[in-house]
Amino acid sequence: MAKLIVAEKPSVAMSYAKVLGATSRQDGYLEGNGYLVSWCVGHLVELAPPNVYDAKYVKWSIADLPILPQKWQYLVSASTKKQFGILQKLMNRPDVDSIVNSCDSGREGELIFRLVYQQAGCKKPVSRLWLSSMEENAIREGFAHLKPSTEYDALYNAALCRERADWMVGINASRLFSCLYGQPLAVGRVMTPVLAMTVVREAAIAAFTPEKFYTVDLELTSGCTASSCRIPEKSVAENLLKACRKEMVATIQRITRKEKSENPPPLYDLTTLQRDANRLLGYSAQQTLDYVQSLYEKKLTTYPRTDSCYITDDDEEMLEELTEELEGFLDITSTDVDEAVPRTRRTVNREKVTDHHAILPTRSMLQADLEALPKGEQNVLKLIIARTLMAVSTPFRYLETLLTTECAGEEFTAKGKEVLEEGWKAVERKVLADILNRKQELTALPNVAENECGILNAELKEGQTTPPKHFTEDLLLHAMETASADSMPEGVERQGIGTPATRAATIEKLVQKGFLERKGTKKTKVLLPTDKGKALITVMPEEIQSADMTADWEAKLLQIERSEMEPETFMTEIKEMISSLVTTTEAAKGANALMKNKIFGVCPNCGKPVVEREKGWFCENRECRFVLWKDNAFFKRLGKRLDSHVADKLLRDGRVRLKDCKSAKGKTYNATVLLGTEPDGRSKFSLEFEGGC
């Protein structure tokens, strides 16, 4: 008899097969040593569209809403029918007596397997492989200690509720608002509140009125500069400046010295890694997820889609041994960490480890050729190594000095910091120097013995208050993670919008659908709502764009995952909200003008306007076949995406220069993409290589 192993991806299946001894390649699976090892390709089985329930749903009509299936139906994805057929045949083979769900160890991995298992009509016993590392030893250990599938029933229920809630909100809200405003509008349970955050932020920036303020700075003979408090009126500040220049002496009022410390940052979960990679390297959340997923599959890091920054007691010894071996990386020495015993206890908290512990480098990484990795993976791995060492280092200790002086009846202050023990900052300093080519400097105040200091110079400085910052992906991820935290009961976990595993995809969908756009330099891009995104939020009712409601749903999904809430209760709430939305929502007055498609450029084929829609940039001339598809095969082959910036350049100049395109062999090169048209009006692309290559 044989045991069937079902992985989520082919690359992961190959790793399992190698360990299990299934070395004979077949069509869509591997076989050997009593095992059959096959794989899914993402979601092989998906929820059926509305027209499968009733043919009338082909046409979008408010009269047919809400669409709330009583019995859910599923279909095999058209692009993956072959692999589903292979799995179905393997599951029902007479010699297969049991199956191991070896899909990713998380909510979506559980859903992917179970939908295939059910659609295949399989009834054979199932056990669960649950891994946090793809190292061979971890795989062997996992297969030696398989768990009953029933232990993950609650996880599956949460995944089902998430999938079905998203379907109901997306289908009903998208159809409702598309019909109300006469054009296709994509509305999502998570996507719309995130878009609303950016629109509200931009409105606050636009409404912000900067206010000027003034300070008087005194350059003292002691070697430091003391500043007054902010003064709103320029005339008052000028009078103070005159008085100080007249006296030219400052009296030392007090010197306060206080020893302070900063504990090391925790280990990385996915969101904090994505935030740091965006802030320090300019990587998008999706890029970072792709890099760390690849590192995981190469056995160089542990499971990436984790929401925990801690490890369990069982992992402490492993971490202590690992950190000793990691010091050679990034030139971290015992001097940098003050020869201290690693503080691994600070990283241990069993209660805060859910499905997986924090992201860590693996022992396999120590023997790997890291120079052979793509640059993005190298950089993300450096961050993970550095954070691991930082988390177990000593606190950063410093002496903070506050010098308070008086001149012309006003107080002036100067602050300084003096490092006492660099601790974890030594690691941070080296990482910043390596990645950003800059160092962090601290300013220490000189010792002041006299009661008075002479004033070498006094000058007036003008400043102004600053508006809220535009959202970078770092800041938006933080906003998503902490959304509704103030309004949720104390102790409730995962109050935020989405999960660590889905937040990157949410941002990408908003960009791809033309609701958000990235602007700025390579390392400091901001996310701005487009006119289309602003218009959508303008017409959305509060319950659809509310971060509180969406975060509340996410908290309830976590309760279902922990068997603390019945799935039926959650689904009833969703259905009631959707029914209320359909019956109470009317078109906002004057909104049709807001929702009108914005002209994006001129069609190179017929000269008519080109407008942006959900799937691409279309010529408004119905007789013309010109379109730039967002999901563009030509750009995918280059490892690039056809976004609004690229589309704008192509329509305006007929060409766009791209850096770091990828060849079929994985090498990078720079090239210019030229836009042309076929005789029938369809778009076509060609490449112009640099240097005549």
pLDDT digits 0-9 by tens, 61-113: 999 999 999 999 999 988 899 999 999 999 999 999 999 999 998 899 999 99
Instruction: Answer positive or negative: Cα dihedral of 59, 63, 68, 70.
Output: negative
Q: What pLDDT shows up at residue 490? A: 43
What is the pLDDT averaged over residues 443-472?
A: 88
Amino acid at 323: T
The number of residues making up the chain comes to 693
Note whether 89 and 6 are within 8 A (CB).
Answer: no
- Check 35, 303, 310, 398 and give the catalytic one: 303
Out of 119-128, 280-289, 586-595, pick the least confident: 586-595
Write phi, then psi, for 134 (nearest 5 degrees): -100, 10
Kindly tell me if the per-residue pLDDT of 441 is higher than 70. no
Quick: pLDDT tens for 369-407.
Answer: 989 999 999 999 999 999 999 998 889 999 999 999 999
Residue 495 clears pLDDT 70, i.e. is over it: no
Q: Kind and range of the H or E element at 505?
A: helix 503-512
Per the CB < 8 A criterion, the answer to whether 337 and 389 are in contact is: yes
Tell me the residue type at 308.
S
Cα–Cα distance for residue pair 428/424, rounded to 1 Å: 7
Residue 221 CB neighbours (<10 A): 15
Provide the token pair at 330. Answer: 């990034």
The share of the chain scoring above pLDDT 70, in percent, equals 92
In the chain, DSSP finds a helix count (H) and a strand count (E) of: 22, 24
Q: How many C-beta atoms lie closer than 10 Å to residue 320's C-beta?
A: 16
Decide: helix, strand or coil at residue 584: helix
Note whether 621 and 608 are within 8 A (CB). yes
Q: Cβ atoms within 10 A of the Cβ of 262, count?
A: 12
Active site residue 181: no
pLDDT at 206 exceeding the cut of 60: yes
> For the chain, percent helix, then strand, then coil, each to nearest 5?
45, 20, 35
pLDDT of residue 358 exceeding 80: yes
Residue 333 neighbours by CB under 8 Å, 6+ apart: 327
Report pLDDT for 485.
Answer: 57
Residues 6+ apart with CB under 8 A from 4: 35, 36, 37, 38, 90, 91, 93, 96, 98, 99, 100
Beta pairing partners, 197: none
The residues pairing with 5 across neighbouring beta strands, listed in sequence order, are 37, 100
Q: Which two tokens stand for residue 528?
A: 């701005």
Task: Evaluate whether 390 touches 230 at the Cβ level (below 8 Å).
Answer: no
Tens of pLDDT, residue by residue over 174-194, are 999 989 888 778 898 899 999
Instruction: Give how far the C-alpha of residue 421 lies from the chain's centroid of Cα atoms, to the nearest Å.
Output: 34
Lowest mean pLDDT among 197-206, 340-349, 401-410: 340-349
Phi/psi at 86 (5° precision): -65, -45
Q: For residues 590-619, give the mean pLDDT.
A: 81
Q: How distant, in Å, are the alpha carbons of 87, 103, 479 from that of 7? A: 11, 4, 34
Distance CA 516, CA 534 (A): 9
Question: Which 8-state DSSP code applies to residue 255?
Answer: E
Phi, psi torsion values for 161, nearest 5 degrees: -60, -40
Q: Choose between 11 and 495: higher pLDDT.
A: 11
* pTM of the predicted structure, to 2 decimals: 0.80
Q: How many CA atoms within 13 Å lie on the side-chain side of 259?
A: 5
d(Cα 354, Cα 108) in Å, to the nearest integer? 15
pLDDT of residue 352: 82
According to the model, what pLDDT value does residue 133 have? 87
Can you read off the two tokens belonging to residue 392?
């177990």
Say how far apart CA 303 and CA 107 lie, in whole Å. 13
Q: Which band of pLDDT confidence, cut at 50, 70 and 90, is reported for residue 491?
A: very low
Cis-peptide, bond into residue 541, ω within 30° of zero: no
SS3 at position 673: strand
Contacts 24+ apart (CB under 8 A), 564-570: 567/157, 567/158, 567/160, 567/161, 570/161, 570/165
Least confident of 21-35, 201-215, 353-367: 353-367
Return the closest-CA partner of residue 300 out of 378, 373, 369, 364: 364
Give me 248's structure tokens: 């030219």
Write out the DSSP string of 156-176.
HHHHHHHHHHHHHHHHHHHHH
Domains in the chain with CATH codes = 2-145 (3.40.50.140), 162-206+471-593 (1.10.460.10), 212-263+397-464 (2.70.20.10), 270-394 (1.10.290.10), 599-692 (no CATH)
Amino acid at 638: L
- Classified as helix, coil or strand, 310 is coil
Least Cα distance to 660 among 430, 353, 304, 375 occurs for: 375
Q: How confident is the model at residue 591, as a pLDDT?
A: 61
493: Cβ contacts below 8 Å, ≥ 6 apart:
555, 558
Calpha distance 215→81 (Å, rounded): 70
The pLDDT of residue 488 is above 50: no
What DSSP letter does each residue of 615-668 carry, written as one string? TEEEES-TT---EEESS-HHHHHTT----HHHHHHHHHHSEEEEEEEE-TTS-E
What mean pLDDT is predicted for residues 247-256?
Answer: 93
Q: How confident is the model at residue 484 (pLDDT cuts 50, 70, 90)?
A: low
Q: Which helix (H) or strand (E) holds 602?
A: strand 599-602
- 511-512-515 Cα angle (round to 5): 50
Q: At what angle do helices 153-181 and 547-561 cross, to 10 degrees?
A: 160
The pLDDT-based confidence of 149 (bands split at 50, 70, 90) is very high
Q: Pairing between strand 35-39 and 2-7?
A: parallel
